[in-house]
Amino acid sequence: MDRDVTGMNLDRRRTLFRTRIKFCGMTRAGDVRLASELGVDAVGFIFARNSRRLIRPEEARLMRNALAPLVDAVALFRDNSPEEVRDAVRQVRPTLLQFHGSEEDAFCRSFGVPWLKAVPMNGNDVESATALQLRYPSAAVFLFDSHGAGDGGGSGNTFDWSRIPQPLTKPVMLAGGLTPDNIFDAILATLPWGVDVASGIESAPGIKDGHRMRHFVEEVRRADCHVEHS
């Protein structure tokens, strides 16, 4: 049985499913261009204050020009003001917004752009699948990350993947401590709709490593083609 859009598969076999890939925390046009060439589905620009990968909307607008057609631009926020979000939307023209803070559903949907909600997994209280979907009914995707409540992503730490709430009726993305060395196992363990990586493909915060970028994509595709025999 093939996996459905929620990322859940009843018999754990994979049949030609393509996991979506997002490279986040882009700060250089050359890295954006290489991500596009590698077949990544989306790149993320971070506007969250205090992030080590923070850039200005003007910088992201210029880097967006390096994107290949059909590659999405994602704008990431964490408790930014409405004015800051609107400015980034106006200048960068993202195809998806990503919220990592305490933003509520009404705030996230008010900008007229599809959005995903990051769910912090570094804590003891993880909302149930039902509670998440009732709290964020207009979210397009749920992204489960290793950050704690009130913190941003990009920590380089993983979390216990078995804690992801189930069953969810919306696509699931996995983030937090993903690297070329563990992404194969992560995908087989969680069968996500997509994966999101920042520090795992970097030589320094915001500085992507071309070899690690390529290796990460190769390992995702290897997992996509993997079939477990019972």
pLDDT tens digit sequence for 12-69: 445 568 999 999 999 999 999 999 999 999 999 999 999 999 999 999 999 999 999 9
Tokens 């690297």 belong to which residue? 179
Q: Which two tokens stand for residue 42?
A: 């989306």
Higher pLDDT, 192 or 7: 192
- pLDDT value for 139: 98
- Collapsing DSSP states into helix, strand and coil, what is residue 179? coil
Residue 176 has pLDDT above 90, yes or no: yes
Share of the chain above pLDDT 70, in %: 86
Whether the Cβ atoms of residue 123 and residue 106 lie closer than 8 Å to each other: no
How far is CA 185 from each of CA 104, 157, 175, 190, rounded to the nearest angstrom?
33, 15, 13, 9
Confidence of residue 9 (pLDDT cuts 50, 70, 90): very low
Q: For the domain bounded by 20-224, which CATH number is listed?
A: 3.20.20.70
Residue closest to 54 by CA, chosen among 26, 80, 82, 35: 26
- pLDDT value for 11: 45
Residue 142 has pLDDT above 60, yes or no: yes
Phi first, then psi: give them for residue 128, nearest 5 degrees. -70, 165
- pLDDT value for 18: 92
- pLDDT value for 15: 57
Domain locations in the chain as residue ranges = 20-224
Task: State the average pLDDT over residues 80-106.
Answer: 98
Contacts (Cβ under 8 Å, ≥6 apart) of 131? none
- pLDDT value for 24: 97
Confidence of residue 146 (pLDDT cuts 50, 70, 90): confident
Tell me how far apart the alpha carbons of residues 32 and 146 are, in angstroms, rounded to a whole number.
Answer: 24
Task: State the average pLDDT over residues 144-158.
Answer: 66
Tell me how far apart the alpha carbons of residues 221 and 42 are, in angstroms, rounded to a whole number.
Answer: 16
